[in-house]
Structure 1
């Protein structure tokens, strides 16, 4: 089944994290109209019929576009931002990335949105990925991290 990315919902530039059956692509990207400029390994995976896209995260500091394949093989999408999750508490955590991925971003932030059940139990209702702020502050990511193909 073919996946349909809704480019109007994708942040203009940021980081792409894609899970395929046979690998992971973690790379800066830039949106140009109805396509994204990203590393060549993205295209390599997309053209392998035996290597379907399982999950796609396109994110910047404020928003994440998510596309994922469900158990039936159909694709669903979601957009997560602080604005959409108003009224919920946040819990953030930062993680250092291993060497193969650290050239893109040394630290990744996970923003967890939490609420409480009627019984007072904490519940993580959603999350989004973000590059750690200190990693991108004052930088022009596209120029310094090579967003162009090739």
Structure 2
């Protein structure tokens, strides 16, 4: 099941992102950021009601939004949770009337399965780079920009 994140999910999301952030796979988020942007997040829950993954849809600019902070518990990888989380975020983007969804990723082949295409990061508005300033890799970002135009 995919559901909107709640206040009691913040510690789970924080721990999950810290794990992958420590490996350099994504940008870890502070608790302050997670509470501030909690409405952006969805949670994947298994049949026992245990949270197994999280993902956020961040609204950036006019018709552009970003899928970010996509993570699934390492022991639950390969079960399709990442796919379900991305599909839920894409569905929400459509519902909200957004025409373009992008992701910055180290796994472009995963996003290509949803028809995202690789693009030059310079095509994305400067507004999205506000988060990049907080990244340990700034200004030498090596993530790949992927864009889905609906």
**Considering the TM-score relative to the shorter chain, is it more than 0.5?**
no
Greater length-normalized contact order (CA 8 Å, ≥ 6 residues apart)? 1
Quick check: which has more Rg, 1 or 2? 1
Larger helix proportion of the pair: 2
Larger strand proportion of the pair: 1
